[in-house]
Every structure is written in structure tokens, then in C-alpha cells.
Amino acid sequence: MTINKSKGEPRGKMPSLRRCVGCRQMIDKTILLRVVRLSESGFAVDTTGKSAGRGAYMCKNADCLAKTIKKNTFNHSFKVKVPQSIYEELNQWI
Ligand SMILES: [Zn+2]
């Protein structure tokens, strides 16, 4: 008889899922664009996924960007208005 103290299976390579602010689907964060709030007024598109700060995620496609802009979902996520320049920057990654 073997004694197995660990509960359940090891996590292995479970993808870290994040919700896209456009289509609301849970998607592997490594293929999403991340917008991060750097300070009270500063935002950036974080393509490394490593910037510190509160982040929100979006798919790399024009549909999701359009939904995001139309519904202002980044503004809801961050509770402040995200500058237009962020949308322009996101557009360049799509
Ligand atoms: Zn999406």
C-alpha cells in the first residue's frame, strides 16, 4: 500500500485563462493583448505580460477591439477612462 499525501493531480501545464473584455470568453492569456494601468493616469499595452499593475485582456482581433470600444469595457474594468491612444496602440497589434 502506498500513502499518497498529495491531493489530486499535479497542475502541470494548465493554461492561465483570462477573460477577453471584448467577447467575454476565457482564453489563454499568452495569446491575449494586455492593457495595464501603470499609475493613476497612465496606461500601456503590455505585450510581455510582465508589467506590474492591474491588467485587462483582449483578443488579437478587430471584432473584439470594436466591441471593446463600443461598450467601453476597458473603462469598466479599470473604472476610469482609458485614453484613445491605447486603442490606437492595440489596433497596431491586431
Ligand atoms: Zn475576444
Extract the runs of DSSP E, i.e. beta strands, from 23-64: 26-28, 32-37, 43-46, 54-59
Distance 70 CA to ligand 1 centre (A): 13
Query: What's the CA-to-centroid distance between 40 and ligand 1, angstroms?
Result: 26
pLDDT tens digits in sequence order for the chain, 94 residues long: 555 565 655 667 788 999 999 999 999 999 999 999 987 669 999 988 788 889 999 999 999 999 999 999 999 999 999 999 999 999 999 9
For the chain, the structural domain boundaries read 17-93
What is this structure's pTM? 0.81
**Ligand 1: distance of its center to the CA of 39 in Å?**
25
Cα–ligand 1 centroid distance for 9 (angstroms): 30
Name the CA radius of gyration of the chain, rounded.
Answer: 17
pLDDT (tens digit per residue) in 58-67? 999 999 999 9
Fold of 17-93: Hypothetical Cytosolic Protein; Chain: A; (3.30.1230)
